[in-house]
Amino acid sequence: MTIRNTTQRWGAVAQLLHWLIVAFIITQFTLATMFDDLPSGPRKLALLARHKSVGITILMLAAVRLAWRWANREKPPLPDTLKPYERRLARLTHGLLYLLLFAVPLAGWTMSSARGFPVSWFGLFTLPDLVPKNKALYETLVTTHGVLAWTLGVVAIVHLLAALKHHFVLRDDVLKRMLPFTATKAQGSDR
Amino acid sequence: MRTRARALASALLATLLARVPAAAADNVTHYVLDPAKSKLEFSFSQAGAQNKGRFTHFTTALDLAASDPAASHLEVTVEMSSVDTGDQERDDTLRDADLFAVRKFAQARFVAAQIVKTATGYEAVGKLTIRDMTRDLRLPFVLRTATEQGVSAAYMTGKTSLRRLDYGVGQGDWKATDQVGNEVGVSFSLRLTAR
């Protein structure tokens, strides 16, 4: 597997970024579910702090990922078997995922600022407040952050189901080329 | 009855004797707080980030003996329920039993019976009580006096830091310091006027 993308498969950097973000999104939903049930106290603070740090990490990884994508114009194309509407749907889903990778953490960060709680990244540095303290804005952003997060969850599941369909129904390389240690038809041992 | 009267008399005498040095030091000025132009703030780390708060209700009395700082006296009383960190939920949590416990311990008090001169200003040597815990505290401050429209005013500024757990601020789960740090910065900027 190469570092950079090829026309056959995603390179190591693109794969690493993709799967790290997957792991962190799962972490975020888990943490959110855990602290939602807790009364306010140090335990809730700890989980919230972790959630914020991981969220900022996703934001940073999303920026790196977009930059890497921009610097790596070569990428495996969508399979020829796709109908035009399926191509549009794939592009829409991917576009939405990128958008939400930025929107969800930004809404969370802004929400913390509006509450008047500065966001720290794993206690190593404190991020600047994006907006001044504003109770009404905070209440709105709680909803916004939640709705955006659930949208991300739904779109990610659509993305996952599509990948599984490609692998198990269409039996093409779409999933394999995002997986390490797998051979794709174009470059694998069966060529 | 007689022993009680005797004890009272000797206590009275002791008080009188104790007051002698203060009386001997001429020019003791009694200052009281100008609340509108004074602030008492604190800073603490929460979830890795620095946060700020303040107390909106507190009183300060300073008896400043110009020629003999040692005879000076400083007393600060803080209404703990007047805590304001800019977040209602957090303030309510602070007032609760595990932290300030304002129902049981309404006030925190710093009493200094001695003020010593230092290279940079003064230091009030006294005891700070928060909740039911009393500890020695040396409070450094800078003092500037001025006469403003015939009123003598004193400006006191300074800062120090405390460990909240020294005073029991943090019971139960709040004893943990990973989310809310033990170290608490205290800073004040007071305007006092002569009585």
Classify residue B120: in a domain, yes or no: yes
Percent of chain A with pLDDT over 70: 95
Q: Any chain A CB within 8 A of the CB of B86?
A: yes
Using alpha carbons, list the distances in angstroms from residue B166 to A38, A143, B128, B129.
Answer: 28, 40, 11, 10
Which tens digits make up the pLDDT trace of B63-74?
Answer: 988 777 778 899
Query: What is the Cα–Cα distance from B28 to B62, expressed in whole angstroms?
Result: 10
| Pairing between β-strand B122-130 and β-strand B133-148 as defined by DSSP bridges | antiparallel
What does the buried/exposed string (b/e) look like for B104-120 if buried means 16 or more CB atoms within 10 Å of the residue's CB? ebebbbbbbbebeeeee
Q: Any chain A CB within 8 A of the CB of B87?
A: yes
Q: Any chain A CB within 8 A of the CB of B43?
A: no
Question: Is the Cβ pair B47, A120 closer than 8 Å?
Answer: yes
Do B71 and B107 contact (CB within 8 A), yes or no?
no
Classify residue B2: in a domain, yes or no: no
Classify residue B17: in a domain, yes or no: no
Percent of chain A with pLDDT over 90: 78
- When pLDDT is averaged across residues B151-177 and rounded to a whole number, the result is 96
Q: Any chain A CB within 8 A of the CB of B179?
A: yes
- Which chain B residues are closer than 8 Å to A53 by Cβ? 48
- When pLDDT is averaged across residues B24-40 and rounded to a whole number, the result is 86
Q: Tell me, what's the pLDDT at B24? A: 45
- Decide: residue A70, CB within 10 A, 0-12 exposed, 13-18 middle, 19+ buried: exposed
Number of structural domains (chain B) is 1
Please report the sign of the dihedral spanned by the C-alpha atoms of residue B87, residue B88, residue B92, residue B95. Answer: positive
- Token representation of residue A12: 């190591």
Classify residue B64: in a domain, yes or no: yes
Classify residue B8: in a domain, yes or no: no
Q: Determine the residue among B87, B91, B95 to mutate to test chain A binding: the one whose Cβ has the most chain A Cβ atoms within 10 Å.
A: B87
Q: How far is A61 from chain B (nearest CA, A)?
A: 21
Q: Any chain B CB within 8 A of the CB of A45?
A: yes
Q: How far is B30 from chain A (nearest CA, A)?
A: 40
Do B153 and B147 contact (CB within 8 A), yes or no?
yes
- Which chain B residues are closer than 8 Å to A119 by Cβ? 49
- Token representation of residue A110: 């802004």
Facing residue for B49 by CB, picked from A42, A46, A119:
A119
Classify residue B42: in a domain, yes or no: yes
Of A76-85, A131-140, B1-10, B105-114, the one with minimum mean pLDDT is B1-10
Is this structure's pTM higher than 0.90? no
Question: Is the Cβ pair B48, A45 closer than 8 Å?
Answer: no
The three-class DSSP label of residue B76 is: strand
- When pLDDT is averaged across residues A1-9 and rounded to a whole number, the result is 86
Q: Tell me, what's the pLDDT at A8? A: 86
Q: Any chain A CB within 8 A of the CB of B174?
A: yes
The letter for the amino acid at B144 is R
Q: Tell me, what's the pLDDT at B25? A: 47
Question: Is the Cβ pair B86, A46 closer than 8 Å?
Answer: no
Q: Any chain B CB within 8 A of the CB of A133?
A: yes
Do B186 and B161 contact (CB within 8 A), yes or no?
yes
Which tens digits make up the pLDDT trace of B124-146?
Answer: 999 999 999 999 999 999 999 89
Q: Tell me, what's the pLDDT at A73? A: 83
Name residues whose C-beta falls within 8 Å of residue B142's C-beta, 6 or more positions apart in sequence. B120, B121, B122, B156, B157, B158
Flag whether pLDDT at B111 surpasses 60. Answer: yes
The three-class DSSP label of residue B103 is: coil
Name residues whose C-beta falls within 8 Å of residue B16's C-beta, 6 or more positions apart in sequence. none
Residues in chain A: 191
- Residue in the block written with tokens 């070569």: A74
The letter for the amino acid at A152 is L
**Which domains are delineated in chain A?**
12-178 (1.20.950)
Q: Tell me, what's the pLDDT at B27? A: 77
Which tens digits make up the pLDDT trace of A91-109?
Answer: 999 999 999 999 999 999 9
Classify residue B5: in a domain, yes or no: no
Classify residue B98: in a domain, yes or no: yes
Q: How far is A190 from chain B (nearest CA, A)?
A: 53
Which tens digits make up the pLDDT trace of A134-176?
Answer: 999 999 999 999 999 999 999 999 999 999 999 999 999 899 9
Do B126 and B137 contact (CB within 8 A), yes or no?
yes
The three-class DSSP label of residue B118 is: coil
Question: Is the Cβ pair B179, A42 closer than 8 Å?
Answer: yes
Q: Determine the residue among A117, A119, A127, A134 to mutate to test chain B binding: the one whose Cβ has the most chain B Cβ atoms within 10 Å.
A: A117
Query: Which residue range forms the structural domain that includes residue B135?
Result: 26-194
- Residue in the block written with tokens 């040095």: B21
H/E stretch holding B40 reads strand B39-46
Which tens digits make up the pLDDT trace of A107-139?
Answer: 999 999 999 999 999 999 999 999 999 999 999
Q: Any chain A CB within 8 A of the CB of B173?
A: yes
Interface of B with A in 110-169 (CB under 8 A): none
Q: Tell me, what's the pLDDT at B26? A: 62
CATH of the domain at B112: 2.40.128.110
Q: Tell me, what's the pLDDT at B14? A: 58
